[in-house]
Structure formats: structure tokens, C-alpha cells
Amino acid sequence: MIKEIIRLKLSGCSNKRISKILSTSRTTVIKYLKQIEYSGLNLKELYQLSNEQLYDLFTVEKTKDDTERYSDLEAFFPYMDKELKRIGVTRWNLWAEYHHKHPGGYSYSQFCHHYHQWTLHKQAYLNIEHKAGDKVFVDYAGQKLQIVDKQTGEIKQLEVFVATLGCSQFTYVEASESQKLENFISSVENAFWYFGGVPNAVVPDNLKSAVTKSNKYEPSINERFAEFASHYNTTILPARSLKPKDKALVEGAIRIAYQRIYATLRNRIFYSIGELNRAIKELLDYYNSVLFKGKDHSRKDLFNELDYPALKPLPTSRFELKTYKQATVQKNCHVYLNQDKNYYSVPYQYIGKKVKLVYSKSTVEVYHQYKRISLHKRSFKKYNYSTQKEHLPSHHRFIMEWNPERFLCWAEGIGQSTKQLIQEILDRKSHPEQGYKSCLGVLSMAKKVGKERLNNACKRALYYKAHTYQSVRNILEQNLDKEPIEKEIQIQIPYHENIRGKHYYQ
């Protein structure tokens, strides 16, 4: 085969074409070509050799020195397997470290070849080198756990969420009500807080809560799940559809969860999700602390040494799931959120405009053409108006500021009689707002007639118990405020025989 590879290569065939002609794998062709390259001879010189000579050249038996050299290399591989999980560490870095300890050791290409063979010997299905803090694989277990309703005895089936870090295989497990978006995001978030940090990427299955449309090259990520990823400064990398190898780690974690969590809880009865999750967390420490088969370390050991230092810090606050709604700004400068039957103000310039409401458990945001124009604390009191004064036109803001204290303070600046009359107007109304316009009418007359005349008019109105805006106005129009009250003529009723006197009632 070696001679045929040389002949075809001399004729200009590609590696792929050679593998097809010889009915062998492309990897095998590349392996032989590398051996040819290491020999130091060119293709034409090698083609002149006989088959026996080529066999002797490329199949040299191992000497005692070769055996010792390979033993040194093989002893290095467990350390290399662990170090490759560190961020930035490559095979080239480790070969340089190996070559420094063993100057007469293998070349880089042989070093990589023997490492690959060693990983196959360790029964690795696919040697994927997971970097520390790089990915967390998430999925739901096929088998469910259950709780019992104390009142009715009804059995409720619960989903079981599992997340495992690629490097250390440190695992998080929790029960949740469903695989819906709210529960899914909450579970992923809880996993981050359990880890104490955020990995570079989340690798979910193609469930609808994560991926709205699966695609081999550009899957469509659920918009709200993407917002969650942005909040935690991480990335979503969905596993390929129908490719279980992409999430082999979490599939393995689920199988172990069956053995170490499900089996332990099988005879216990739980009455709430919280109670069940507390029991799961008690078993998680054991799950993560068990030593790997044939190794002297556990998931927790690897997590503390490799993954945890490489995780990104958690944000200062948890993510709040947001809901979206279209609305039109009303003439009163408010938008209506029918979910809560509440009104929220926006700047008056947007009256009649179509806007987008984005609301969470605590806030309500209003956007117009991707620009946020309003932010409110969410109110759950029905038919409540959440209004920011700066959103209203100036005349509306003035009306909003009407209150008894404001009118009394204004009246006191004019005079005590004016303040007393304003208080009488407010007290005589069943609701203070009914007297606001009367108060405003009385107080505004100070600009026309001056504070002194208005205060005298109010004094006269108080004397005659005429506590209305119209009475004060009439007094000023007839200049009665200038007349002393004491000099007014008292009207005497004349005597008449048909008029009963006071003695009649005694």
C-alpha cells in the first residue's frame, strides 16, 4: 500500500482521491505520508525502493530504548489529559514540557499520535477536550419524579432538570413543574448560582424553550432565553438535532442521577417541590464527591481545581423574565396594561403612537422604535395610575399638583382672611377636589385686584357666611371690599299687629 500511495501522490492525486482509489480511510493515507516525511527521503527516491525495503524502513521493531522511551511518554499522558482541560493549554505546550524533561523523547507528531492511541485504549468514544469553565450541558431526564397533594392524594409528575460542566462533570439536579420557558430558565439560573459562576456557553437540547427553530447551521434561539444569556454574559450553543454525541456528558449524568438520586428517593413520599428539591440537594454532594472509576479524584475535586476558578462572576441580580405587549398611548399620556388593569405614563410627545410594553415581576418599560421612553415600578392595584410628572404637559402637571395644602399655603401668602375662606370652601365639600376650582378662582383674583383688596373681600364674605367664589367676585366688582363692615345700616323690621312678637313664643 505504501508504494501505491507514493505512486498516486507523484501523479498529483489528492489525499481524498488516493483514499477512494485504494479503498482506505483518508486518515490512514495521511499517517503513511507523515511517516514518509519523517524518513528524510523524497517521493521519487522512495518509489525506486522495493516493497521489502519499504517494509523494513517503515516497520522497525522497538528496541529496549524505545520501550523505556514509550513508558516515559505513557506515564506523562494522565497529567496531560488533565492539563488539556485548562484554558489556553494546547498539545504543543505540553509536548514542549515533555521534551524539556525528556530531550531524547518523541517528536511532536509522534507525541500526538501516541496520545490519540492512548485515549482510544482508555475506551474514549470521542476525545473531546473540554476547557475549564467553557460549557455547561443541560437536559431533562426521561424518567420523572413525583409529589403527592396532601389534600386530594393526587400524584403530580415533575420534570427533572440536569446540568453538568464539561471539564469537571460537576453536576446540578433539580425538579421543576414543566419544561416551559419560565421553569427552564429558572432551572438554568439555579444551576449557575449552585456553581457560583457562569460558564462561557450553555449547550441545551432542541426543546422549544431554548430553540424556536432547529437548524444545522443557524438555529433560532428563543428570544427570551437569549435575553437571559445576555444578562449572564454567556452564549447559547444548541446541540445538533439527532446528535446525542453533542450532549453525551449530560446523558451520562442523567444515568448516574438515576443510580445515586432516583434510587435513593424511590421509597420516600414528598408533598411539595421544595421538599423534593431539598432532598435532591442533600444527595448532590455525594453524587459529585464520588471518585471517578480508576482515578484518585472526584467531580468536586476537578470543579474546585479547574472549573470554578475559570467561571465568570455572577451578576449582581437575578434575571427577570419579561413579557411583551403592543399598546397605543392614550390622550391622557398613559398606556393601558390589561394584564394588571393599570395605567402607566409616557412622555406626552408620544400621544397616539404605537409603543411596546416590556414588563417583568417588578418593572414596566415602554419602548418606541427600540428606544426606552418610560420606566415604572409595576403596580398590581387595579385601575391605578402610575404617573411621572415630567411626562405630562405643563398645564397637566399644574393640575396634578392641586391639593389642599398647596391652596392653603398660597392663601396664607395673601392674608389670614383669605386662608380662612379657602379652608371654609374646602371643608364644605364632600371631597376636597370639588373645591379646587373654586379655590383657584378666588386666589387667581389677586393678580387683578391685588392681595389687600382680595383679603378684604374674603373678610366680608366670611362675615356674611358667603363662602363661594361668586360672592367674593361680586364684592370686588361692586367695590364693597372698600366699605367698612361696622358702618353698615342694620335693617329694623317695623311693628305690625299681624307680626307676632317674642313674647308669643315664651
pLDDT at 127: 44
Q: 72 or 493: which carries more pLDDT confidence? A: 72
Q: Cα-Cα-Cα-Cα dihedral of 34, 40, 43, 45, to 10°?
A: -150
61, pLDDT greater than 50: no
Distances (CA, A) of 276 to 180, 181, 272: 19, 21, 6
- The pTM assigned to this predicted structure is 0.51
Map out the domains of the chain as residue ranges: 2-58, 64-121, 135-310, 323-396, 402-482
All cell numbers assigned to 351? 400621544
Q: Among the listed ranges 64-73, 231-240, 465-474, 490-499, which one has the minimum average pLDDT value?
A: 490-499
Q: What is the CATH superfamily name and number for domain 135-310? A: Ribonuclease H-like superfamily/Ribonuclease H (3.30.420.10)
DSSP state letters, 237-277? -PPPTT-GGGGHHHHHHHHHHIIIIIHHHTT---SSHHHHH
Cα–Cα distance, 267 to 270 (Å, whole number): 10
Cα–Cα distance, 158 to 250 (Å, whole number): 19
Q: What is the pLDDT of residues 134-145, one digit of tens each?
A: 889 999 998 999
Greatest Cα pair distance, the chain, in angstroms, is 162
- Using alpha carbons only, what angle is made at residue 358 by residues 136 and 393, rounded to the nearest 5 degrees? 150
Instruction: Give the residue-averaged pLDDT of 343-359.
Output: 89
65, pLDDT greater than 80: no
Task: Please provide the average confidence, as pLDDT, over all residues in the chain.
Answer: 81
Instruction: Give the residue-averaged pLDDT of 51-64.
Output: 56
Q: What is the pLDDT of residues 307-339, one digit of tens each?
A: 899 999 999 988 888 888 899 988 778 898 888
Q: What is the pLDDT of residues 466-497, one digit of tens each?
A: 888 888 889 888 888 888 876 544 555 566 66
Residue 126 banded pLDDT, cuts 50, 70, 90: very low
3-state secondary structure of 41: coil
* Sheet hosting strand 363-368, strand order edge to edge: 323-328, 354-359, 363-368, 371-377
pLDDT at 467: 84
Q: Among the listed ranges 84-98, 308-322, 388-402, which one has the minimum average pLDDT value?
A: 388-402
Burial class (CB in 10 A: 0-12, 13-18, 19+), 260: middle
Instruction: Give the residue-averaged pLDDT of 249-278.
Output: 88
Grid cell 379657602 in the structure block, residue: 422
Q: How many CA atoms lie within 13 A of 189 on its CB side?
A: 21
Residue 276 banded pLDDT, cuts 50, 70, 90: very high
Query: Which residues does 13 contact at the CB level (< 8 Å), separation at least 6?
Result: 21
pLDDT at 354: 92
Distances (CA, A) of 424 to 315, 436, 493: 57, 12, 31
Residue 502 banded pLDDT, cuts 50, 70, 90: low
500, pLDDT greater than 60: yes
The strand pairing partners of 164, in sequence order, are 137, 171
